[in-house]
């Protein structure tokens, strides 16, 4: 006899109700992706340093032109609300106080990885592309490289480039040019 098993996916609203009920706390490093709750890798010192460096560099170069959001939610859909390491958002005077930013608010997403590169490539990048996020940078600290993804569609990003030490990266929708060394340390 065959057994039929159906996977139960959670909405963002249910995810928040679980947090309010104490199923997981704000200190738990979890993300809701396509209705599934993923426990993310702990943030190493090198990862944290890179995110802090990015925040400093972007804040100083984008002052007043965009909002640099650090490890905060971006509502991609009813079933996905990742917390990218950095999301550069269109400037709004309310700083998104009434609702989390949506894909149309995002100018650039940056994910920093040491141990999660394959997960980011296989799971997060397709979600960002499907949602129409125009540009994603994957900073791979292990390989000391930056992968830039542009031209999103429902099938993924059609433009991907890799940059290494000695090269600079330029954001497509922002007046930002950074040396790879500035980002990977």
In a domain, 37, yes or no: no
How many domains are contained in the chain? 1
Give the pLDDT score at 147: 97
Cα 59 from Cα 4, distance rounded (Å): 51
Write the pLDDT tens digit of every residue in 29-59: 899 999 999 988 888 899 999 999 999 999 9
In a domain, 165, yes or no: yes
Please give the residue range of the domain that contains residue 89. 42-184
In a domain, 7, yes or no: no
Cα 37 from Cα 15, distance rounded (Å): 8
| Residue 131 in this model has a pLDDT that exceeds 70 | yes
Residues sharing a CB contact under 8 Å with residue 150, sequence separation 6 or more, in sequence order: 134, 135, 157, 158, 159, 160, 172
In a domain, 110, yes or no: yes
| Residue 182 in this model has a pLDDT that exceeds 80 | yes
Write the pLDDT tens digit of every residue in 107-121: 999 999 998 899 999
pTM: 0.93
Matching residue, tokens 């997960």:
119
Print burial letters for 101-122: b (CB count within 10 Å at least 16), e (below 16).
bebebbbbbbbbbbebbebbbe
Write the pLDDT tens digit of every residue in 80-129: 999 999 999 999 999 999 999 999 999 999 999 998 899 999 999 999 99
| Residue 25 in this model has a pLDDT that exceeds 80 | no
In a domain, 6, yes or no: no
Q: Tally Cβ neighbours within 10 Å of residue 98.
A: 7
CATH number at 108 reads: 3.90.1570.10
Residues 161-168, mean pLDDT to the nearest whole number: 97
In a domain, 47, yes or no: yes
Specify the 3-state DSSP secondary structure of 93.
Answer: coil
Model confidence band, residue 1 (pLDDT cutoffs 50, 70, 90) = low
Question: What are the Cα distances from residue 148, in Å, to 9, 23, 104, 110, 111?
Answer: 30, 36, 19, 9, 11
Residues of the chain with pLDDT > 70, as a percent, come to 99
Cα 139 from Cα 155, distance rounded (Å): 22
In a domain, 118, yes or no: yes
Beta bridge partners of 146: 139, 163
In a domain, 11, yes or no: no
Query: Mean pLDDT in the chain?
Result: 93
Beta bridge partners of 113: 140
Of 141, 139, 140, 159, nearest in space to 150 by CA: 159
């Amino acid at each position: 006899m065959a057994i039929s098993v159906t996977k139960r996916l959670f909405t963002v609203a249910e995810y928040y109700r679980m947090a309010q009920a104490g199923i997981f706390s704000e200190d738990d490093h979890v993300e809701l992706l396509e209705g599934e709750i993923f426990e993310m890798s702990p943030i190493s010192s090198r990862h944290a340093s890179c995110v802090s460096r990015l925040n400093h560099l972007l804040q100083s170069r984008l002052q007043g032109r965009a909002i640099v959001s650090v490890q905060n939610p971006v509502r991609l859909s009813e079933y996905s609300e990742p917390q990218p390491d950095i999301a550069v958002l269109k400037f709004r005077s309310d700083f998104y106080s009434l609702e989390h930013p949506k894909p149309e608010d995002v100018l650039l997403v940056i994910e920093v990885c040491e141990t999660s590169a394959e997960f980011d490539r296989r799971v997060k990048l397709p979600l960002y592309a499907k949602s129409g996020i125009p540009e994603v940078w994957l900073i791979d600290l292990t390989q000391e490289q930056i992968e830039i993804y542009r031209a999103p569609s429902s099938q993924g990003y059609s433009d991907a480039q890799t940059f290494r030490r000695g090269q600079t990266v330029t954001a497509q929708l922002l007046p930002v040019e950074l040396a790879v060394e500035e980002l990977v340390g």
